[in-house]
Amino acid sequence: MTIYSLYILNKAGGLIYQQDYNPGLLKLSANDYLVLAGTIHGVHAIASKITPFSLRDDSAAAGQSLLNTNSFLNHPLPVNYTSNKTGLNFIQTDFFNIYLFQSLTGIKFILVTSPNGVLSNNLTNAELILRKIYIIFSDYVMKNPFYNLEMPIRCELFDLKTTQLLKPV
Amino acid sequence: MIYSLWIFDRHCIIQQDPKAARPLVGGGTVNLNNDIDSAKLLFGALFSLRNIASKLTSNVNIIDNTSSDLDFQKQNYLRSFATQNYRAHYFETLSGLKFVLLTDPSIQDMQKHLHEIYTNFYVEYVAKNALSPVDFKPGELIGSEKFINSVDSYILSLSVT
């Protein structure tokens, strides 16, 4: 799995970090990246709204029927569909995959990778990388006293650490 | 587990498969009327993602990735998107018809089944049907019972259900 780029969105859907690590994607204008970030932010919100009726666990009956279905025995119960974890997880296209991770504080980490099919181990792989990025983000952005919340990230150490993680030596 | 099948034409919805489908419900805190609009929400989400897919790639880098030399195959197509609770598989025909299947997130690739539904059922029972309108009016659904029944039985026969 090659990592093409990383985007970080603040909780309002604004793009606060954009970096390409490996060639593979088109370069867009700064404005287009903002539009792209906003679109993903919107679709993320919409995606949880279109959760199929039978999966919504706010009605007790739906939860009961899920427990009784065989196919759900080996699945964990769905997370409350309004929680911020139920938005987009991944997007699969012919030429790249997008994996998303939203922190509890609403910051979205978006990873664009090469398409290797969304195999389950690939998914966990991408999730792992996203979590590592979140750790780097906490260490080198949030602990940086000169960083203004919700503003674009300009921290050299963060650039360095993410490049070390995402770019093959 | 398969939740529902949606077919959109160039404009918006034409058909929601009635038997295999439980109604999609939006809802939530913002706007209770979202219930009615879940078809539009789904269409909007897919439309935006499709645009992202084509925007981020060019023909140049696609030539590197595939050996195909057919022009229309050089475009990047959206295949699916997923949330924690469900996964939407997407297939678009050259005529702009969009087939969407909502399934459990663990189900891998349903493209070929959607293609099957298009070639075997849609083309046979809707496109070749002289009484079926060429362009569906807003709100109009596919009425062909033969189509609905065969799609239903096809989807219910898939081993993933």
What ipTM does the predicted assembly reach?
0.80
Q: What tens digit of pLDDT does each residue of A42-99 get?
A: 999 888 878 776 666 554 444 444 444 444 444 555 556 556 667 888 899 888 999 9
| Backbone torsions φ then ψ of A121, nearest 5 degrees | -75, -25
The residues, any chain, with a CB within 8 Å of residue A97's CB and separated by 6 or more, are A90, A91, A112, A113, A114, A115, A116, A118, A122, A126
Q: Is residue B29 part of a domain?
A: yes
Look at residues A77, A86, A87, A2 and name the one whose alpha carbon lies nearest to residue A41.
A87
**Structure-block tokens of residue A26:** 């088109």
The nearest CA of chain B is from the CA of A51 a distance in Å of 7
> How far is B53 from B118, CA to CA, in rounded Å?
22
Q: Is residue B66 part of a domain?
A: no
Q: Is residue B26 part of a domain?
A: yes
> How far is B121 from A19, CA to CA, in rounded Å?
45
Fold of domain A3-166? Beta-Lactamase (3.30.450)
- pLDDT tens track of chain B, all 161 residues? 788 888 887 765 555 554 444 333 333 333 444 445 677 788 889 999 999 988 888 654 444 455 554 444 567 889 999 988 889 999 998 888 888 888 888 888 888 999 999 999 989 988 898 888 777 776 677 777 888 888 888 888 887 65
| Backbone torsions φ then ψ of B150, nearest 5 degrees | -70, -35
Q: Is residue B65 part of a domain?
A: no
The residues, any chain, with a CB within 8 Å of residue A124's CB and separated by 6 or more, are none
The model's pTM: 0.80
> How far is A43 from A100, CA to CA, in rounded Å?
12
**Structure-block tokens of residue B35:** 């219930």
| CATH code: domain of residue B44 | 3.30.450.70
CB contact residues (below 8 A), chain A span 95-134, against chain B:
95-96, 98, 112, 117-118, 120
Q: Is A64 helix (H, G, I), strand (E, B) or coil?
A: helix
Question: Which residues of chain B lie closer than 8 angstroms to A28, CB-CB?
Answer: 55-56
Measured CA angle at B123 (ends B145, B8), to 5 deg = 75
Structural domain tally of chain B?
A: 1
Q: Is residue B123 part of a domain?
A: yes
The mean of the pLDDT values for chain A is: 82
Instruction: Give the range of the structural domain holding residue B120, as residue numbers without chain letter.
Output: 2-60+72-160
Question: Which residues of chain B lie closer than 8 angstroms to A95, CB-CB?
Answer: 53, 57, 61-62, 65, 76
Q: What tens digit of pLDDT does each residue of A108-119 get?
A: 999 999 887 556
Q: Is residue B121 part of a domain?
A: yes
Q: Is residue B115 part of a domain?
A: yes
CB contact residues (below 8 A), chain B span 9-48, against chain A:
22-29, 34, 38, 41-42, 44-45, 48
**Structure-block tokens of residue A72:** 């759900």
